[in-house]
Structure 1
Amino acid sequence: MKKNIDLGLLVLRISIGLLMLLHGISKLIHGIGFIEGMLEGMGMPGFVAYGVIVGEVIAPLAILIGFKTRIASAIYAFNCFVAILMVHSKDLLSLNEHGGWGVELLGLYLLGAVALVFTGAGKYALSQKSKWD
């Protein structure tokens, strides 16, 4: 079988884009009050919580369609990193009862996004001419 890197990148984009977008849609439907509360508890202004909409809705949509994929993936990765620090830091060095890393789902999202920062979207993308593609 002939390898197809561009098709592999499309599968990666669909995987991490769609799966994170579902988290973002949930936040659009149910609100981000719990994130505002966490931020305020850390001494930060609550409005910073709206950044989750950028990281979990706008960036995943851009990744899915292949628009400015490298910058969208950097934003997405930053969102994952912040989520790990804010919500899952206690699990960072732990394994769950089945041997999985305590933050493995977010770790997969984070590392998938970092891979796209380095590779870009491939040829099956809306935009391909910018250094951010």
Structure 2
Amino acid sequence: MIASLNNHFTRLTDRPDFGKLILRLTFGLLMLFHGVFKLQHGVGWIADMLEQQGLPGFIAYGAYIGELVVPVMIIIGLLTRPAGFIYAFNLLVATWLVHSNDVFTLSRVGAWTLETEALYFLGGIIIMLMGAGRYAVIRNPSYR
């Protein structure tokens, strides 16, 4: 009985390409909010943090790529795997700059302080590993 119900449910829900679309839209759209914030407020504060770490401040402009260009690429399905890699790398850099002291801390409710950052990072990794799927604006599979 349970196996039969599970098989029926599996037949109804076995839609990996639709799942990839939802994944891409979710992580792409959520990251765009961060990118729009950078457009409105600039990346000077990121440049300051980079310079405090002994790195050149112009690297901060990479936030525009990682938080505006790459999410749009992920949403439309353009070079999705490399975009997922850049997305994840962007998260590592952002976490290192802003939350490096929080790696071994918990929030007031007992959650890992970096769980949101980890979720975004792993979302980028999953997108990189799974690719765009069938539902993409880009029709040529060589560019998905």
> Structure 2: any 5+ residue segments left out of the alignment?
1-11
Deviation of the 1:2 alpha carbon:
3.1
Amino acid at match of 2:117: L
Q: Which runs of 4+ in 1 moved over 4 A?
A: none
Quick one: which amino acid aligns to residue 26 of structure 2? S
Deviation string, structure 1 residues 67-103 (Cα, Å, up to 9, x no partner): 1110111000000011111111111122111122111
- 1:15 lines up with 2:26 in the alignment: yes
The residue type paired with residue 129 of structure 1 is P
Q: d(CA) in 1 for partners of 2:19 and 2:68?
A: 22
Larger fraction in helix: 2
Please give the root-mean-square deviation of Cα atoms over the aligned residues, in Å.
1.2
Indicate the percent of aligned positions where both proteins have the same amino acid. 47
Query: Equivalent residues in 2 for 1:1-133 (5 A)?
Result: 1-127=12-138, 128-130=140-142, 133=144
Distance 1:129 1:55 in 2: 23
TM-score (norm 2): 0.87
Aligned residues: 132
2:105 maps to amino acid: S
What is the alpha-carbon distance in structure 2 between the residues aligned to residue 114 and residue 106 of structure 1?
Answer: 12
Aligned-pair distance for 1:21?
0.7
Rg larger for? 2
**Greater shift after overlay, 71-80 or 91-100?**
91-100
- 1:102 & 1:44 partners in 2: Cα distance? 26
CA drift at 1:126: 2.5
**Structure 1: gaps (5+ residues):** none
Matched with 2:9 is none
CA distance in 2, matches of 1:124, 1:47: 36
How many Å separate the matches in 1 of 2:68 and 2:86?
11
Partner Cα separation in structure 2 for residue 3 and residue 57 of structure 1 = 31
